[in-house]
Amino acid sequence: MLNSVIRIDLAGKEVLLIGTAHVSKESVELVRETIEKENPDMVAVELCAQRHHAISEKKKWDETDISKVIKEGKGYLFLTQLMLTNFQRKVGDELGVKPGSEMVKALELAKEKNIPIALVDRDIGVTLKRALNRMSLKEKIRILFGLVSGIFEEEKVTEEMVEKLKEMDVLTEMMEELGREVPSVKETLLDERNHYIADKIASLEAKKIVAVVGAGHVSGIKDILESKDFSTDSVKEELAELESVPEKKSRFKKYANYALPAAIIGVVLLGFFMAPNDPKFLTDSAIQFILLTGLLSALGAAFALAHPLSIITAFLVAPITTLHPFLAAGWFAGWVEAKVRKPKVKDFEDLMNINSVLDLWRNKVTKILLVMSFSNLGASLGLVIALFSLIINFVSKFIHIL
């Protein structure tokens, strides 16, 4: 349903759904023609507040407070959104159309004609968080590998791919592909958003609404608008539920962060109580734990080419953070990196020009995220190795006592 207009009668309202591709010149023209011809009471666009700000204000990343991103533990989410944005940018470069041009045109025309604008898409951060909560560790690794290999690969888009991309909503196509790779999150990435957008459109107070949405959403939104009863309070309840980020239901996942630290402490204490007159086991265990977690976290920071102060920080905090379920060594190392090598405006602007894996190390913003990620990875690896080493030492000590 690309580049088409579908009319829907909805309890006294007239809704015109425009199915577009986010990198299509034809879509831009269709949006212009429809708004000028229909002169609607409201223009709805498939944007959330965050994406609307990026498009309308032309400020993509330069206002980002990277220290706040790290402090709130949103580094991985930031990196994911960056990769999604860069993917669309690369496709737009190949097609000669800026991603979201049809949305920009809708916003411009609405402003010129003094037509109210409605943002009807769910916040992309909420969508990604809900999806991540449903993924298993294996699925997350698969998705991350697919995103990185697909976005940062050096091969150019072929002519055949270009022609295909002219006929699709790129962001929706990406999410559909993710849904195929990881069926457990298809509902979050696509079905939930269709319901959310339909609910938002139905709740708008206007007689004639032009809604500009990605082609991949049109069929689902149309079916929901034509079959659902929007006269009840259940719509508000559904919107509230879809905007929330529920906690993971698995008890195993909920208590997983406590398991390894508790095991470390348990092994050390057990060994100490078995031989209270031999404090050497306790001392050796503590030194071994500090060195393994600290050194491997520091090595992770060094692999990201961190500042020496960031590397030292990773070493010092890892033995403490690995025993705390709500702290991470990478947060502290990344925060120090952000302070001593504070990114400039140009670094944020260059986030839109990252085309290779090496560019991640060259840009100060992404380097901070790498310092955070590899410091955490090193600390976690050190914790696991330390546990196995302590268990081996404990067994040896127990056999010696016997």
Least confident of 3-7, 96-100, 316-320, 328-332: 96-100
Least confident of 170-184, 216-230, 234-248, 359-373: 170-184
Tokens at residue 34, please?
């429809």
Instruction: Tell me the torsion sign for CA atoms 132, 133, 136, 137.
Output: positive
Residue 207: predicted pLDDT: 93
Average pLDDT over residues 324-333: 85
Tokens at residue 139, please?
């699925």
Q: Specify whether 223 is located in the same domain as 278.
A: no
Residue 253: predicted pLDDT: 53
Closest to 374 in 3D by CA, of 302, 319, 307, 324: 302
* pTM of the complete model: 0.65
Average pLDDT over residues 78-93: 61
Q: Specify whether 166 is located in the same domain as 208.
A: yes
Q: Specify whether 226 is located in the same domain as 268.
A: no
* Three-state secondary structure readout of 135-177: CCHHHHHHHHHHHHHHHCCCCCCCHHHHHHHCCCCHHHHHHHH
Is residue 52 within 8 A of residue 201, CB to CB? The reply is no
Q: Specify whether 130 is located in the same domain as 235.
A: yes
Residue 81: predicted pLDDT: 62
Provide the β-strand partners of residue 7.
16
Q: What is the pLDDT of residues 143-179, one digit of tens each?
A: 656 555 554 454 454 445 544 554 555 555 556 666 6
Q: Specify whether 212 is located in the same domain as 347.
A: no
Which domain, by its residues, includes 294? 251-401
Total domains, the chain = 2
Give the residue from 242, 267, 285 where a domain finishes.
242
Q: Specify whether 215 is located in the same domain as 266.
A: no
Residue 149: predicted pLDDT: 55
Q: Specify whether 238 is located in the same domain as 257.
A: no
Q: What is the pLDDT of residues 340-368, one digit of tens each?
A: 888 776 776 666 666 666 777 888 888 88
Tokens at residue 141, please?
């690794």
| Mean predicted lDDT score pLDDT of the chain | 77
Q: Evaluate if residue 279 carries a pLDDT over 60.
A: yes
Q: Evaluate if residue 205 carries a pLDDT over 60.
A: yes
Q: What distance separates the 2 farthest-apart alpha carbons in the chain?
A: 91
Give the residue from 208, 242, 276 where a domain finishes.
242
Q: Specify whether 328 is located in the same domain as 192.
A: no
pLDDT category, 258, cuts 50, 70, 90? confident
- Angle at which helix 137-151 crosses helix 170-181, to 10 degrees, equals 140
d(CA 56, CA 369): 27
Q: Specify whether 24 is located in the same domain as 86.
A: yes
Tokens at residue 163, please?
């022609």
Percent of the chain with pLDDT over 70: 65
Q: Evaluate if residue 29 carries a pLDDT over 60.
A: yes
Residue 51: predicted pLDDT: 74
Q: Specify whether 94 is located in the same domain as 31.
A: yes
Q: How many other CB atoms are there within 10 angstroms of residue 330's CB atom?
A: 34
Give the residue from 242, 266, 285 where a domain finishes.
242
Q: Evaluate if residue 136 carries a pLDDT over 60.
A: yes
Q: Evaluate if residue 259 carries a pLDDT over 80.
A: no
Q: Evaluate if residue 117 carries a pLDDT over 80.
A: yes
Q: What is the pLDDT of residues 32-46, one digit of tens each?
A: 999 999 999 999 999
- Which positions ≥6 away from 231 have C-beta within 8 Å? 11
Q: Specify whether 309 is located in the same domain as 368.
A: yes
Closest to 366 in 3D by CA, of 82, 22, 98: 82
Is residue 164 within 8 A of residue 94, CB to CB? The reply is no
Q: Specify whether 256 is located in the same domain as 391.
A: yes
